[in-house]
A and B are shown apart, each in its own frame.
Chain A
Amino acid sequence: MGSLRLDHVSKDYITEGNPAPALRDVSLEFRAGEFVAVAGRSGCGKSTLLNLAGVMDFPTSGTVWLDGVSTSTLSDAALTRVRREKVGFIFQSFQLLPTLSVIENVELPLMLAGSAESRKVASERLHWVEMDAYANRMPHQLSGGQMQRVAIARALANAPSLLLADEPTGNLDNATSAVILALLRRIADERETIVLMATHSLEAAANTDTVVRLQDGRVESVSAMKKLAGERLTGSY
């Protein structure tokens, strides 16, 4: 069962020689199957939080525990392995490789991990996101929503315990956004995956189990969706 814990995590970036804090003393814990929205204004530290959780970056202080392992003690090779096997990323601008077909994009992490059954697994993931009919198309032949579904299939390729989604609906219309959010919901529910989604949108946050609000790098609040139920769930940060 996957788990993610951030223990007094702070992150400073150096700007013109001076430290600029991006996250300050953040402590959070998420369980398998939890769908979490990380909300807040631009520059509040949402992406930094996702990057630290996904071991793409290291905290200045504090510890990130993924599946019970402290990531700060791992070597570069072990971190690469963690990213491959335990973490999946999806982005606002989809980030599919334009030179690879749909199925090849999904196969990519599997092949990088040396999987012998990459094609079979990729087909299964595409089927899961209902994109198997488009397997041999090139990315530029897809709509935005289709591209994001392929990106999700790719992120799920290695059956990660943590899925990080940075503004996954930022480039999509409302109807398509709803489809993508429902898909993320399914991932959390059916695949027991922790889904951590950075978003500006309160409508997007409405689909999640937990909303973490950040302000100036600090956790302003952590709310279960039941508590938010009475609030006005429209608009954005």
Chain B
Amino acid sequence: MPAVELFYRLILRPLRQEPLRAALTVLAVALGVAAVLSIELAGQAAAGSFRSSLDTLTGSANLEVTAAGGIPPEVFARLATEPYALKLHPRIEDYGVISDQGGRTVPILGMDLISEAGPESTASATEPQPDFRLNESVWVSAGLGYKNGDRVRLLINDTASDFTVRGLLNEKAGDVILMDLAPATQLFRRGGRLDRILIEAPPTRPAEEWESLLRQNLPDGVTIARQGSETEENRRMLEAFRWNLRVLSYVSLAVGAFLIYNTISVSVVRRRFEIGILRAVGTPRAAILAGFLGEAACFGVFGGLAGIALGRLLAEGAVKLVASTVASLYFSSRPAPILLTWETAVLGIIIGIGISLVSALGPAWEASRVAPVEAMARGRREHQVSVHRWRTATIAAILAVAAWIASQQSAVHGKPLFGYLCALLSIVASALLIPVWVSGLAAITGGFIGRLFGVEALLATRSLAGSLRRTSVLVGALSTAIAVLTAVGIMVGSFRETVLVWMDDILQADLFLSPAVPAGADRHPTMAAGIPAQLAQLPEVEAIDQLRTYEVRYQGLPVTLGGMDARVGGGRRRRSFLSGAPAAQVFQELIGSDAVIVSEPFANKHGARAGDTLTLSLGGTLRSFRILDVYYDYSSERGVILMDRGTLLRYLPGAEPSNVAVYLKPGVSLEDGQRAVERVIAGRRIAVSRNRDLRDQAIEVFDRTFAITYVLEALAVFVAITGVGGALVALVIDRRREFALLHFVGASNRQIRRIILFEAGLLGALANIAGVTLGFILSLLLIRVINKQSFGWTIQFHWPLLVLLSALSIVYVATVLSALYPARVATRLVPIEVIHEE
């Protein structure tokens, strides 16, 4: 195979002579692939585990019945009397905490164990014993570490109860605790309502037919659907979150692409003379093109393979961060095992090769266009770049206009696709402007820098401007990473500041009470109904505000429904409304009326506005409510509907509050107030938090939520800095004649080192300025378009100056330090040999 032999001799063998540069390029691809794969794997694991324990125990049910606020008992009775051979499985589903396992939260499933003859259909062969008391019995997953007869203390809502383990469930079930329906109904305060009824319909009709047949006899507010559809809806809800993470992970890949482009460009430039000879001896253009694309494909294969291994490793850390965010913002979930499938591995290789080939296409094409005579004449290549820079600047201007147009478009199926397009176009436009920016700045400041910092700075400036192509690619790569760092930094900083201001607004009470079990976006544990009244009678307490929340579905998506005491006002409860209406006026209108206020994310997600009417399924019936106003809210991405507690109690008779806010009388110290409150709740598992504690906890959750974005940004910056180091080594090797000459004209090693460090410093400065400018534009895009379309929050713009300056300084110092090794290479060149080669 002469072609393979030639490929080895002309492309691969030279790579072996520069193992460091080749390794750094492979590393850049590997990190890009790893970032994408780790986010994909972590996203799958975090979302894939949702309700997996409960779903495993669904047996052969094919339909499920649900209702917001619980299914009334008469619905079960109606289904039971249907003239069909249906098997009904009523269920209570919630979460509890195992006291003696460090507060481990597990799903708890209440089933009718008498009619289902024990959990043998889903459990391993441990049969229920006839002599036990069903109300005190549980069956637990084998993985929880209990054995038959053990005692287990469970914290459910604000009450701790002891149970005896009567059997172990098989491994497939995951972590779950099973108990009879009766104690579950009581402990979870369901008041006779069921969370779900699973139906096993006979296969005499298709599931769709059964669904429509049974729906006819169910009240309007009760939903019947094929089993598992809710899980699918939840997964869909996660899509926006996963999309944004995915896009962020692609940044590392994009930065890697810049560096592959640079590597292949350097390869082409350095072998231009060889290309000329090859063309002169009859090598076709296609072979030249294939050769350089083949070189890129090699980087892609090795980078892809390394990226798969690295991605699997990174996924371990990423899944914890993603799962924590999913649990805080979306639904209860335990991370499933990370599954690295063949498909994912192949995807990694395809991404590696794909990004390498796409990045290399430009320089490889240029190599194939080289005329033999031109290639053998030195000194034209940089001139060509300078000739083309105004053309690329024009293209950049066109792309910038296209980006602006894209930023004005609406979301597509809830995804800010045009927002991403705008980001991509902005990054490309910025990259195309870099040659003009670098040469312009070098021309303006070259003399000044030389006078200020000496001949080394002058040489560094001239050299960067002289090798415009390579400089532009490096500045482009680094500035893209810095831009993302800046944009996400501004977005997160702005978001944090907005949330802090919002919390100051809403956290007006002195003390806050909630059940001492972890709450989540879909978990609403409650306290005993009498507690608010007892608290209100305390002499230290001026007022009480209680909130009851439920998970309901609106337009197929989960939403938090809350009932608050709209009478508690008097300027105590503050809310900011989009309309600007005074809170007291809006709350006054809410009292006792069929009206609601909705959060901004709800309004954006469901296209709801003040004055619209919402129809909610509450307790098995459909009710309509007028939207009084939309309020700013950052507590839930899924959206919140709030109504007066009195109104909610008319439809869902659950008097137990989920949270209670306590306002102390003036002059009562927090310590005295807290002691008084704790006397009332003594013996109950209720957490009392002070205003400041709650605020700190919320900010902790916030920071944890965005930890993954910092990791991805750091990865992109690391890829860029690695690339700068590698490219500077290539630059030194390529300019060895110049460094050798400097030795001949009297430059010391220190001066040569200073030139390289100055170049890195200038690269870093150019990239910082370009990156911060682009980052500012991208931050506006993130805040006003992508975030708004993905999550629906209004974020007030804020410059997190300290954080940004620290991050940019670290990047800058790292960029300069990345030049230490190339500088060492430059000082170790043997000038005589280099000049002799020339």
Contact = CB atoms under 8 A, between A and B. Distances in A.
A111 B466 contact: no
B747 interface: yes
A113 B466 CA distance: 24
B455 A112 contact: yes
A113 B454 CA distance: 11
Contacts of B747: 80, 112
Interface string A96-124: 01111000100011011100000000000
B740 to A, nearest CB: 9
Interface string A48-62: 000100101100000
A167 to B, nearest CB: 11
Interface string A28-42: 000000000000000
Contacts of B605: none
Given A47-B836, A99-B463, A99-B466, A154 B745 contact: yes
Interface stretch (A83-91, A180-188, A202-210, A220-228): A83-91
A109 B835 contact: no
Interface centre among B455, B742, B749 (most CB of A within 10 A): B455
A154 B458 CA distance: 17
Interface of A: 47, 51, 54, 56-57, 76-77, 80-81, 83-85, 89, 91, 93, 95, 97-100, 104, 108-109, 111-113, 140, 154, 158
A98 B735 CA distance: 11
B746 A76 contact: no
A109 B745 contact: yes
Nearest to A95: B741
Contacts of B2: none
Interface in B696-749: 737-738, 741-749
Contacts of B523: none
Nearest to B749: A76
A140 B459 CA distance: 17
A100 B462 CA distance: 7
Q: Which 9 A-B pairs rank lowest in CB-CB distance, beginning with the nearest? A: A84-B746, A99-B466, A111-B455, A99-B462, A80-B748, A109-B745, A89-B744, A83-B746, A95-B741
Nearest to B447: A104
Contact of A112 (B462, B742, B832): B742
A85 B748 CA distance: 13
A113 B747 CA distance: 8
B835 A91 contact: yes
Contacts of A99: 459, 462-463, 465-466
A112 B746 contact: yes
Nearest to B383: A140
B379 A97 contact: no
B303 interface: no
B102 to A, nearest CB: 64
B748 A97 contact: no
B746 A158 contact: yes
Contacts of A97: 459, 462, 738, 741
A51 B740 CA distance: 13
30 contacts: A47-B832, A47-B836, A51-B832, A56-B743, A56-B744, A56-B831, A56-B832, A57-B832, A76-B748, A80-B746, A80-B747, A83-B744, A83-B745, A83-B746, A84-B746, A85-B746, A93-B838, A95-B737, A95-B838, A97-B462, A98-B379, A98-B466, A99-B459, A99-B462, A104-B462, A108-B455, A109-B746, A111-B455, A112-B747, A113-B746
A108 B745 contact: yes
A28 to B, nearest CB: 20
Contacts of B744: 54, 56, 83, 89, 95
B751 interface: yes
Given A97-B738, A112-B745, A154-B745, 9 more contacts: A47-B836, A57-B832, A76-B749, A93-B838, A98-B466, A99-B463, A99-B465, A111-B458, A140-B379
* Chain B at the A interface: SS class: helix
Contacts of A89: 744-745
Interface string B433-463: 0000000000000000000001100110011
A158 B745 CA distance: 10
A135 B459 CA distance: 17
A148 to B, nearest CB: 14
Contacts of A93: 838
A90 B738 CA distance: 14
A64 to B, nearest CB: 15
B790 to A, nearest CB: 47
Nearest to A109: B745
Nearest to A84: B746
A80 to B, nearest CB: 4
Interface centre among B744, B746, B835 (most CB of A within 10 A): B746
A21 B90 CA distance: 97
Nearest to B462: A99
Contacts of A108: 455, 459, 742, 745
A136 B743 CA distance: 24
B467 to A, nearest CB: 8
A202 B539 CA distance: 117
A116 to B, nearest CB: 11
Interface string B300-324: 0000000000000000000000000
A226 to B, nearest CB: 33
Nearest to B741: A95
Contacts of A112: 455, 742, 745-748, 751
Nearest to A158: B746
Contacts of A95: 737, 741, 744, 835, 838
A112 B739 CA distance: 13
Interface string B185-197: 0000000000000
Contacts of A83: 743-746
Most buried by A among B454, B741, B751: B741
Interface in B456-511: 458-459, 462-463, 465-466
Contacts of B379: 98, 140
Contacts of B383: 140
Interface in B74-108: none
A54 B342 CA distance: 64
B61 to A, nearest CB: 76
Nearest to A47: B836
A54 B748 CA distance: 15
Interface string B528-555: 0000000000000000000000000000
A57 B745 CA distance: 14
B378 to A, nearest CB: 9
Contacts of A81: 746
A80 B747 CA distance: 7
Contacts of B751: 112
Contacts of B832: 47, 51, 56-57
> A77, A108, A158 — which one has the most chain B CB atoms within 10 A of its CB?
A108
Nearest to B838: A93
Interface string B201-237: 0000000000000000000000000000000000000
A91 B835 CA distance: 9
A113 B748 CA distance: 10
Nearest to A118: B455
A116 B463 CA distance: 23
Contacts of A158: 746
A81 B462 CA distance: 25
